[in-house]
Chain A
Amino acid sequence: MSDSDDTRSSPDMRRLYALAIACEVVVIAALWAVKRLFS
């Protein structure tokens, strides 16, 4: 991983942010599916 004094996020970091959001959407969708399935 790169170290930098730059306050801006690197392209790798930006991809990780996008992945974190995608992961949250998938987790919430899975939780919603669990509710639909078992309620």
Chain B
Amino acid sequence: MHTVDWIVVGAYLVWIVWDGLRRTKDADKVEGYFLANRSLPWWAVGLSVMATQLSAITLVGTTGQGYADGMRFVQFYFGLPVAMIILSVTLVPFFYRARVYTAYEYLEKRFDLKTRTLASILFLLSRGMSCGVIIAAPAVILSIMLGWNLTLTILAIGLPTVLYTMVGGVQAVTWTDVKQMAVIVGGLVAAVAALILGLPSDVSVADALHVAGAAGRMNTVDFTFDVRQTYTFWSGLLGGLFLMLSYFGCDQSQVQRYLTAKSVDEGRHSLLMSAFFKIPLQALVLLAGVLVFVFYLFNQPPMLFNRVHAETIERSGRASDYRALEAEFAQAFEVRRSASSALASAEGDEQRAQARASFLAANNELKAVRARAAGLVREIAGDERYRDFTGDTPGPDVNYVFPTFVTTRLPVGLVGLMIAAIFAAAMSSIAAELNSLATASVIDIYRRILRPAKTDAHYLVVSKLATAFWGIFACVVAVFAAGLGSLIEVVNRFGSFFYGSLLGVFVLALVFRRATGHGAFVGLLAGMALVATVAFHPSTRSISFLWHNPIGVVGVVVAGLAVSNLTPRRSGAS
């Protein structure tokens, strides 16, 4: 990396840590530390909500998804605006009126302590592990792309975040999130501009999008109803709706963002900001990926984007086979480049249809060579994940597409800005998660169960220690998770078991007056068991994970109501 890029990344880190450390206003009391005394403006909270959701995995993975599979992933967010409105009408005013610190505190007010504690522990387990994954995923990619030491990369992302989150609490998290969103959006816009300027002089943006469309990259809306397909209009609108309701309504890392707003209406406004801007923002991220695809139609891409495997094969006895494949790939690329130019300049329906057919044939040839390279990876490196393809790219390579483009094709300065944007995306999510993990640990477990009657100063010290503990825990998990691809999947799976079921408990709380604490507790366990069964049973395994959320809700409500009918309602439940 060029010195200028190092300076840009270094300046970003210093700026964010300095800004976070000086945001300690009101952080001398527990309510100020965790909720900023409910005093923050809606626009800052709204940007914090968006920054928390947009992790580095989203930034890097979604651009890769755009490259390999096109715009269809945007449908994943179609349920989000409706979810935000439902939450603004239902949970947000309830949380405010109950004056809670955590979403799970509300469950004790409505049901009982054991339901609150179970929900909080599930959150702590799930988010504690996923926080490590959020650090590990970009650290692995950056360390491979830039040749950095993996552990040092994890520490470079994790330690500054832990420092300012521990010292400044939620104020530091929110105000750094605002700046980090600016870095992320600024970097993205600059990357899109560089991609457009990098098109060949005889290819307009419209021509480029026509070629991308011919390769199936502009499939933005698909009205097919098929539960096995992950990204369709219906799975996004219905399955995505439940996922977003769970994430924004029951996940403390998001609930805590809008609990810091000045009033109920400001909390609602902060959520509605995502309703207005999330889909366009994700479309921009995906468009960046589609433009990278177009860029690599006219400039030769690497055969495999994750260069670690290429290096492993180079050192093996099959190096000559791999080099022969690379020569074949270069040839296939030249054929596709000519076909792409012909398609971009084609006029009239007949000429366009012919050019399109030639382009698709050339693209398939290139994919076939890549598939053989993926076969070598499986054989030599033993990485079985190279059996799956996303579009025409091996699945595990998808996350390396955008970083490869950034580090090898962007001009000096912009490389640093994009690396800073990846850091910003990771740090904003991690900070919010550490802050919420500390809140749930202290408020739901320590203050409620372990040490109930201590002073505010005591809880403040414990809160800072809890933030530091979760930060160190996340870094340790990240170091281990980095070497275990399957662990990342396990963590994500666990989250999906838990999300729909937790939403089901809140549905029981708000909609069904006769639901009891025993019903909610048993319902939560039954819902998780049902989702796990659906996810692993051979006959239902093909159902896309987005549908697990509504299944979890239904499981909890049905089991919860059945048990509630058999048990007496707790007196004093509100």
B283 — which chain A residues lie within 8 A by C-beta? 27, 31
Interchain CB contact under 8 A, B209 and A27: no
| Interface status of B212 (Cβ within 8 A of chain A) | yes
Contacting pair A34 B218 (CB below 8 A): yes
Say yes or no: B221 contacts A35, CB within 8 Å.
Answer: yes
CB distance from B434 to the nearest CB of A (A): 30
In the complex, residue of chain A having the shortest beta-carbon distance to the beta carbon of B214: A39
Q: Check: B279 CB closer than 8 A to any chain A CB.
A: yes
Residue of A nearest to B223 (CB): A32
Cα of A16 to Cα of B266 in the assembled complex, Å: 12
Residues 185-225 (chain B) with a chain A CB within 8 angstroms: 206, 209-210, 212-214, 216, 218-221
A32 contact from B93, B220, B263, B275, Cβ within 8 A: B220
Q: Which of B76-114 contact A (CB under 8 A)?
A: 78, 81-82, 84-85, 88-89, 93-94, 96-97
Q: Is the CB of B97 within 8 A of A5?
A: yes
B279 and A1 within 8 A (CB): no
Answer whether A24 and B81 are a contact pair too, CB < 8 Å, given A7-B94, A34-B218. Answer: yes
Q: Which residues of B contact A20 (CB under 8 A)?
A: 81, 84-85, 272, 275-276
Residues from chain A with Cβ under 8 Å of B212 in the complex: 38
- Cα A5 to Cα B275 in complex, Å, equals 24
Contact call A17/B269, Cβ cutoff below 8 A: no
Give min CB distance, B46 to chain A, whole Å: 13
Contact check: which of A9, A10, A24, A38 meets B275 at CB < 8 Å? Answer: A24
The chain A residue with its CB closest to the CB of B280 is A27
Q: Flag if A35 contacts B81 (CB, 8 Å).
A: no
Establish whether residues A24 and B213, one from each chain, have CB atoms under 8 Å apart when the complex forms: no
Decide if B85 touches A35 in the complex (CB within 8 Å): no
Q: Report the contact-size class of chain B (Cβ under 8 Å from the partner).
A: 35 or more
User: When the two chains form the complex, which single residue of B84, B88, B219, B266 contacts A39, counting CB atoms closer than 8 Å?
Assistant: B219
Interface residues on A, range: 20 to 34
Q: Which B-chain residue is minimally distant from A23 (CB atoms)?
A: B276
Kindly list chain A residues whose C-beta atoms are within 8 Å of the C-beta of B94.
Answer: 7
Tell me if B85 and A21 are in contact (CB < 8 A): yes
**Contact of A4 with B218 in the complex, beta carbons under 8 Å:** no
Bound together, the chains give a CA A24 to CA B268 distance in angstroms of 17
Pair B272/A4 contact, Cβ less than 8 Å:
no
The answer to whether B220 touches A31 (Cβ under 8 A) is yes
Encode A1-39 as 1/0 by CB contact (under 8 A) with B. 111111111100100110011011001100110110111
Chain B positions within 8 Å of A17 at CB level: 85, 88-89, 272
Contact A31 B84 (CB under 8 A): no
CA of A5 to CA of B262, assembled, Å: 12
Q: Tell whether B255 is near chain A: CB-to-CB under 8 Å.
A: no
| Residue B40 is within 8 A (CB to CB) of chain A in the complex | no
- Tell whether, in the assembled complex, residue A31 and residue B262 are in contact, meaning their CB atoms are under 8 Å apart: no
**CB distance A23 to B220 under 8 Å?**
no
Given A9-B268, A10-B265, A20-B272, A39-B89 contact (CB < 8 Å): no
Q: Which residues of chain A come closer than 8 Å to B262, judged between CB atoms?
A: 3
CA distance in complex: A16, B4 (Å): 45
Q: In the complex, which of the residues B71, B216, B272 contacts A16, with contact meaning CB atoms closer than 8 Å? A: B272
**Interface membership of B264, Cβ < 8 A:** yes
Indicate whether B427 reaches chain A with its CB closer than 8 angstroms.
no
- Check: B509 CB closer than 8 A to any chain A CB: no
The smallest C-beta distance from A14 to any residue of chain B, in angstroms, reads 9
Docked complex Cα distance between A6 and B263 (Å): 11
Most buried by A among B93, B221, B276: B221
Pairwise interchain contact A27-B220, C-beta atoms closer than 8 A: no
Bound Cα distance from A2 to B287, whole angstroms: 39
| A23 & B221 in contact (Cβ 8 Å cutoff) | no
Q: What B residues does A5 contact at CB under 8 A? A: 96-97, 264
Tell yes or no: B74 within 8 A of A by CB: yes
Once the chains bind, are A27 and B279 in contact (CB under 8 Å)?
yes
Instruction: Using known A-B contacts A20-B85, A24-B275, A38-B210, determine if residue A4 contacts B265 with beta carbons closer than 8 Å.
Output: yes
Alpha-carbon distance A27/B283, docked complex (angstroms): 10
A-B contact pairs, 15 of them (CB 8 A): A1-B266, A3-B262, A4-B264, A5-B97, A7-B94, A7-B264, A13-B88, A16-B272, A20-B84, A20-B272, A38-B212, A38-B213, A38-B218, A39-B216, A39-B219
Known contacts A31-B74, A31-B221; 10 additional CB pairs below 8 A are A3-B266, A6-B93, A10-B265, A13-B265, A20-B81, A20-B276, A24-B78, A27-B279, A27-B280, A38-B209
The 7 closest A-B pairs by CB, nearest first: A38-B213, A3-B263, A7-B93, A31-B220, A20-B275, A39-B213, A38-B218
